[in-house]
Chain A
Amino acid sequence: MSAREEILNRLRKTHVAEQQAMPDVAGWFGAHRRSEDRVQRCARLRAALEAVHTEIHDVTHDNWSSVLLQVAVGKGLRQILIGAGTPHGAQLQACQTKALQLIPYEQPIDTWQDLLFDGVDASLTLARGAVAETGSLILWPTPSEPRLMSLVPSIHFVLLDEDTIHEDFYAAMTAESWSEGMPTNALLICGPSKTADIQQTLAYGAHGPKELVVLLRHADGRQA
């Protein structure tokens, strides 16, 4: 008999009487919902992200690319990795300055991994949404914005639309019906990488980005 059969047979031998019924997760989150409006959710997200060393800039559809370039130049960055064929990538390319090289992620990583690890300062990706409760950005890497963009470069810029901020993780996954189809990789990101493994002393920039910069994009005419 295979290991699989042996293990399953051992488990099947036991009849478990307790807790046969499905737990009421919806009931719990329903009872603990804050029913916040857009402004409150933005504020809570901001507080949670800033508590973990995340830089946040309020931007609009018109000015986000110039704000990003300004911040990038201010940090002395030389390159920014952008998604290939994304509207926001194109928008950034349209207003780029000479000081900054925009590198589209066009080829499979196997052909240029060393360059990504050693020769790219920063990256820009679009967030699918965010979770106000914990300050988590939701990223679903796509063929045009692959997984490593949010991991390898030292500085990670994230463009987040305020209308995509959910109250909690449960609200996000149910509103977007995640269970009907997950991408190969889905991420929640809260701040730059960090560790407290040396004598409980918090240090940022462990293995992933050292800095996380969020461009919080407000709908036209709305103020932060």
Chain B
Amino acid sequence: MNKVVHLHPMDDFKARSKAVLDNAGQRKNFRGAMDFLQAKRRAQFPDQDEMQGLRELGASIRRYSLAHLPRLLEQLEANLTANGVQVHWAQNGPEANAIALKIAQRVDAKRIIKGKSMVSEEVGFNHFMEAAGIEAFESDMGEYIVQLAGEAPSHIIMPAIHKTKQEIAQLFAEEIPGVAYTEDVDALIQIGRRVLRRKFAEADIGLSGVNFTVAETGTLCLVENEGNGRMCTTVPKVHIAITGIEKVVEKLEHVPPLLSLLTRSATGQAVTTYVNMISGPRRPDEKDGPQEVHLILLDNGRTQAYADDELRATLQCIRCGACMNHCPVYARIGGHAYGTTYPGPIGSIISPHMLGLDTTFPLAFASTLCGACSEVCPVKIPITDILVRLRNEAQARPETEEATLRGSGAARTLAASTAWGMWAQVYSKSGLYKLASWFMSRGRALSPSEQGAWTRSRTPLVPASKRLRDLMKDHKS
């Protein structure tokens, strides 16, 4: 059902964006949801000094963790292993899926119940498992709705944010046997609860994501409100957690500040209903909990970002979604238009490492660079600076510049590079500038009336009849 949607030509992104912009209902959904989430976050940070101090602390914890990443990953692995958790490493999506499939085949699993995991979306987990004849069922209410509709999440925290309750009521009535149409949200949730309780009890494997991994104790931290995450990690005999290599922190004491930043920034909650810290499978004297716990550590392009001193900050992300909630572009086009697993500003800066800049560079240009994302980011990722960097990378001359990014130079065209080359010449040589501006002011009548996207909603640009230097001359004389 859920395919990983890979972004291809820029035209697709533009077409999808236009389709949403033309859909008044969807725009209203997104705008309403974004206003709601912004207000909730604002209410959680009444004290500006406290917020800035905590952001600084959160950023320093994430930067410290990245600075020591290889050591922390080894420490995490050693401590998890000592706790009885099996650790696996995957360089890309197919490797991660193959690891999970091997576990599933060994325990003869037919059904996998899933807690919320964006990394599993990133690797196309559900689609892969279904092709292998194993059911992968989403249990987060929003993810369940989206899967039932055969769609992908449109927001990393609120997957079904693009749907109204009327649409969900219709979906449930059509897709769930014996369910009558109701728009009552409590009733809809109880329907989902009933369906999914059976799924938890029947599942052979529970799959989850991870919010933080703690190296010193060998602990997986999961944050949620619904209890489905706890179900997935507690009821089935096997629990597989999948996460990016960047999610590790060294000390348990690093969790409280990040946890506070995460829940307040994401959904405007002081804390979620559940903070679930898992440090091992069921012990011989325990009566429940999974008998096996596995952790799959995924690279999938993260090491590419890591290698660059500026782009490494991308990996500080704790996936709160605040950048998308405050993005004027995301608020208007929604998550699906991006065509990538991670939408919004963070998606635009992380996706190039996963999919290549050649297929994702249009996203870096889909920003007003207003800076709202960088301002709200709880771990102070300079998102706009990175967007500009990616724009430059997309225009880079591949053969001369150091190829730090897969697919760099993809946006470079002969016309644009020639035009900018000439512009650079004119603006760096005063004689040439004088001559060029003389011709421009005299030849203004030749300015085209159609100037592409500019004149679609604006009057044409026409050079001034007198240059600044001529005006100065007149003024003096």
Contacts and interface: CB of A to CB of B under 8 A. Distances in A.
A134 interface: yes
Closest 7 interchain pairs by CB? A208-B227, A197-B142, A19-B63, A193-B227, A134-B271, A206-B226, A188-B275
Interface in B454-468: none
A43 interface: no
A190 interface: yes
Interface of A: 2-4, 6-8, 10-14, 16, 18-26, 28-29, 32, 48, 52, 105, 107-109, 113-114, 117, 131, 133-136, 141, 143, 146-148, 151, 168-170, 173-174, 178-179, 181-201, 203, 205-209
Given A182-B277, A185-B278, A7 B89 contact: yes
B57 A23 contact: yes
B405 interface: no
A208 B235 contact: no
A197 B140 contact: yes
A10 B306 contact: yes
A97 B36 CA distance: 47
Interface stretch (B183-191, B204-212, B359-367): B183-191
Contacts of B256: 25, 29, 168-170, 173
Contacts, number: 254
Interface stretch (B18-26, B159-167, B439-447): B159-167
B307 A6 contact: no
Contacts of B165: 198-199, 201
B20 to A, nearest CB: 18
B347 interface: no
Given A16-B309, A148-B234, A205-B190, 20 more contacts: A3-B89, A13-B307, A23-B64, A25-B251, A28-B53, A113-B201, A113-B235, A169-B256, A173-B253, A179-B251, A184-B278, A184-B286, A185-B276, A185-B278, A185-B279, A188-B274, A194-B226, A200-B161, A207-B196, A209-B227
B228 interface: yes
A206 B217 contact: no
B146 to A, nearest CB: 9
A143 B285 CA distance: 6
Given A146-B286, A151-B230, A168-B256, A187 B139 contact: no
Contact of B145 (A25, A168, A197): A197
Given A168-B256, A199-B164, A194 B225 contact: yes
B274 to A, nearest CB: 6
A7 B272 contact: no
Interface in B296-312: 297, 299, 303, 306-307, 309, 312
B271 A207 contact: no
A25 B254 contact: yes
A109 to B, nearest CB: 4
Contacts of A200: 32-33, 36-37, 158, 161
